[in-house]
A and B are shown apart, each in its own frame.
Chain A
Amino acid sequence: MAENFEKHSDISAADLARLNQEAQAEATPSTAKIIWNEFKADKPAMAALFIIVGFIAFVMIGALFINTPKMMETNIMDYFDKPFTTDFWLGADSGGRSVAKQLIVGSRNSIGIAIGLTVISSTVGICWGLISGYFGGYIDWGMQRVYDFTMMLPMLMMIIVLVTIIPHYNAVSLTLIFSLFYWEGTSRLIRSRTLAETQKDYVAASKTSGTSNWKIIFQGIMPNISSLIIIDTTLSFAENIGVETGLSYLGFGLPTQTPSLGTMIANANDPTNITLYWWTWLPAALEIIVLCLSISYIGQVLRRAADASQRQGAAD
Chain B
Amino acid sequence: MSLIEIKDLKVHYPIRSGFWNRITDSVKAVDGITFNIEAGETYGLVGESGSGKSTTGKSVVGLEKVTSGSILYNGKDITKRDNRRKLDYNRDVQMIFQDSLSSLNPRKRIEDIIAEPLRNFEHLSKDDEKLRVLQLLNIVGLDADALYKYPHQFSGGQRQRIGVARAVATNPKLIIADEPVSALDLSVQAQVLNFMKKIQREFGISYLFISHDLGVVRHMCNNIAIMNRGRLVEIGTREDIYNHPLHIYTKRLLAAIPETNVNQRVAHRASRLAVEKIYEEQQDKYYDENGMAYPLVQVSPTHSVALPETIAKQLASQEGEVQA
- The segment from B93-101, B206-214, B258-266 found at the interface with A is B93-101
Q: A259 vs B106: C-alpha distance in the bound complex, in angstroms?
A: 48
CB<8 Å pairs between A and B, sample of 6: A4-B202, A141-B21, A201-B103, A205-B97, A205-B166, A210-B90
A4: B residues at CB distance < 8 A: 171, 202-203
The answer on a CB contact under 8 Å between A210 and B153 is: no
Is B91 part of the binding interface, using a Cβ–Cβ cutoff of 8 Å?
yes
| Residues 162-207 of A at the B interface (beta carbon under 8 Å) | 200-202, 204-207
Q: What is the interface residue range for chain B against chain A?
A: 35 or more
Is B130 part of the binding interface, using a Cβ–Cβ cutoff of 8 Å?
yes
A11: B residues at CB distance < 8 A: 131, 134, 144
The answer on a CB contact under 8 Å between B90 and A224 is: no
| Residues 207-238 of A at the B interface (beta carbon under 8 Å) | 207-211, 220, 223-224
A270: B residues at CB distance < 8 A: none
Given the known interface contacts A5-B132, A210-B90, the answer about A19 and B144 at a Cβ–Cβ threshold of 8 Å is yes
A224: B residues at CB distance < 8 A: 105-107
A150 to chain B minimum Cβ distance, whole angstroms, is 17
Q: Identify the closest chain B residue to A204 (Cβ).
A: B63
A201: B residues at CB distance < 8 A: 97-99, 102-103
Q: A15 vs B105: C-alpha distance in the bound complex, in angstroms?
A: 26
The answer on a CB contact under 8 Å between A1 and B61 is: no
The answer on a CB contact under 8 Å between B149 and A210 is: no
The answer on a CB contact under 8 Å between B97 and A24 is: no
Q: A1 vs B144: C-alpha distance in the bound complex, in angstroms?
A: 21
Q: Identify the closest chain B residue to A202 (Cβ).
A: B105
A-B interface pairs (CB < 8 A), number:
101
B150: A residues at CB distance < 8 A: 27-28
Given the known interface contacts A11-B144, A28-B153, the answer about A209 and B134 at a Cβ–Cβ threshold of 8 Å is no
Given the known interface contacts A5-B135, A200-B102, A209-B120, the answer about A223 and B147 at a Cβ–Cβ threshold of 8 Å is no
B299 to chain A minimum Cβ distance, whole angstroms, is 36
Q: A16 vs B145: C-alpha distance in the bound complex, in angstroms?
A: 9
| Residues 1-32 of A at the B interface (beta carbon under 8 Å) | 1, 4-5, 8-11, 15-16, 19-20, 22-24, 26-28
Q: A5 vs B102: C-alpha distance in the bound complex, in angstroms?
A: 28
The answer on a CB contact under 8 Å between B103 and A202 is: yes
Q: A94 vs B99: C-alpha distance in the bound complex, in angstroms?
A: 70
Is B62 part of the binding interface, using a Cβ–Cβ cutoff of 8 Å?
yes
A1: B residues at CB distance < 8 A: 171, 203
Given the known interface contacts A8-B138, A205-B95, the answer about A28 and B148 at a Cβ–Cβ threshold of 8 Å is no
| Residues 126-145 of B at the A interface (beta carbon under 8 Å) | 130-132, 134-136, 138-139, 144-145
| Residues 143-195 of B at the A interface (beta carbon under 8 Å) | 144-145, 147-150, 152-153, 163, 166, 171
B90: A residues at CB distance < 8 A: 208-210
A206: B residues at CB distance < 8 A: 105, 116
A197 to chain B minimum Cβ distance, whole angstroms, is 10
The answer on a CB contact under 8 Å between B97 and A16 is: no
The answer on a CB contact under 8 Å between A208 and B107 is: no
Contact for B145 among A8, A10, A22, A208, CB less than 8 A = A22
Q: A288 vs B150: C-alpha distance in the bound complex, in angstroms?
A: 43
